[in-house]
């Protein structure tokens, strides 16, 4: 009666219905006593300042684009994985097919890794770190005296 994908559809429907039922039961059971502290964005956390709708830097977009390209590479890996260990192909070529398949995929991934290396060298993968400021205070007591005291009482 049901095809194999019919079962998958049943799984999806069951997941949605089950989640809805659980959330509804939880809504019936739980006490509802909100206060100002509970309703903050980060409870017991930092106070958010301003709006979240700020303009993001374009560098995030470059990272996202790199992600998309490697995601597309993954699409090509799936059909490759199904034929890589193909027994009839392997036997008819004395095992040469396996080497052939792995070399072609290494070339494919290698060219993509070149692109990643280019982005890396251009500094798109590392972020601006906050600079630690050394205090410029000149103490009349030399540092060696402090170190001697630290050593004495440690």
Partner 1 sequence: MQFWYFLTALTLISALMVVLSKNPIHSVLYLVFTFFCISGHYVLLNAQFLMAVNIIVYAGAIMVLFLFVIMMLDLRRNSPDSKTNLTKLAGAVVGGTVLVIFIAATRKINLGTGADNAFYNSQTGMVENLGQILYRNYLLPFELVSILFFVAMVGAVMLGKREAGERNF
Q: Kindly list the residues in this chain that would bind partner 1 in the complex (CB under 8 A).
A: 5, 51, 53-62, 64-69, 71-76, 78-83, 86, 101, 104, 107-109, 111-112, 114-116, 118-119, 122-124, 127-128
Closest CB to partner 1 among 25 and 83? 83
We find the least distance from the C-beta atom of residue 24 to partner 1, in angstroms, to be 22
Go through 86-101 and write b for each residue having 16 or more CB atoms within 10 A of its CB, e for each that does not. eeebbeeeeeebeeeb
We find the least distance from the C-beta atom of residue 58 to partner 1, in angstroms, to be 5
Q: In 3D, which of 26, 43, 24, 25 has the Cα closest to residue 35?
A: 43
We find the least distance from the C-beta atom of residue 107 to partner 1, in angstroms, to be 6
Question: If phi over 0 gives left and psi between -120 and 50 gives alpha, with beta otherwise, what is residue 123?
Answer: left
d(CA 102, CA 135): 57
We find the least distance from the C-beta atom of residue 146 to partner 1, in angstroms, to be 36
Closest CB to partner 1 among 25 and 77? 77
Closest CB to partner 1 among 102 and 148? 102
Provide CB contacts within 8 A for 80, sequence distance 6+: 101, 105
């Amino acid at each position: 009666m049901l095809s194999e994908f019919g079962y998958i559809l049943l799984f999806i429907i069951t997941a949605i219905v089950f989640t809805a039922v659980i959330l509804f039961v939880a809504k019936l059971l739980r006490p509802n006593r909100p206060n100002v502290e509970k309703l903050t964005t980060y409870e017991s956390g930092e106070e958010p300042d301003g709006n979240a709708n700020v303009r993001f830097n374009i560098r995030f977009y470059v990272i996202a684009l790199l992600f998309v390209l490697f995601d597309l590479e993954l699409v090509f890996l799936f059909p490759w994985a199904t034929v890589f260990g193909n027994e009839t192909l392997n036997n008819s070529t004395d095992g040469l097919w396996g080497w052939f398949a792995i070399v072609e995929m290494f070339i494919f991934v290698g060219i993509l890794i070149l692109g990643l290396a280019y982005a890396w060298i251009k500094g798109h993968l590392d972020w601006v770190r906050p600079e630690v400021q050394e205090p410029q205070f000149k103490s009349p007591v030399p540092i060696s005296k402090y170190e001697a005291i630290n050593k004495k009482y440690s």
